[in-house]
Amino acid sequence: MKTFKLLVNTPDRVFYHEDVTMVELATSEGEIGVYADHIPLTAVLVPCVLRIHQEGEVHKAAVHGGIVEVLKDKVTVLAEIAEWPEEIDVNRANEAKIRAERLLASHDSCTDIGRAELALKRSLARLNTVD
């Protein structure tokens, strides 16, 4: 199967830089699966599970916002935060999820809905990455 280069960069590290066969991620426009020779696009990355398909295996990572650029032979993900499953504290993610859900259910006029929704997405991305 044809491969392409996947580069995942965060402000503090080169998170991943290898040849892969497919990558799945979520953008503000919806979920996408990218193979080699995909039509070029640039999109806003939203908190999600990044699924990296490489030599018959799937590696999962949580990514939390940024930008994705798709070219014919290269995909670049510039993420604010990227975490491998073993880097994720499940209890902390569960607590963040409960906090965000409570805020969203409270209908309190002081609640910043957008911020709570984003916190919920980050916690779900983490929990689905360790799943």
Under the rule (CB under 6 A), what is the footprint of ligand ATP?
A: 64, 81, 83, 87-89, 92-93, 96, 119, 122, 126
1 or 44, CB closer to ligand ATP? 44
Q: What are phi and psi of 126, to 5 degrees?
A: -65, -45
3 state SS of 72: coil
Least distance to ligand ATP, CB of residue 128, Å: 12
11 or 56, CB closer to ligand ATP? 11
Look up residue 52 and give its amino acid.
I
74 or 92, CB closer to ligand ATP? 92
d(CA 86, CA 83): 8
Look up residue 70 and give its amino acid.
V
Least distance to ligand ATP, CB of residue 64, Å: 5
d(CA 41, CA 82): 21
Tokens of 105: 């259910």
Least distance to ligand ATP, CB of residue 126, Å: 5
26 or 34, CB closer to ligand ATP? 26
Tokens of 124: 């779900």
Least distance to ligand ATP, CB of residue 96, Å: 4
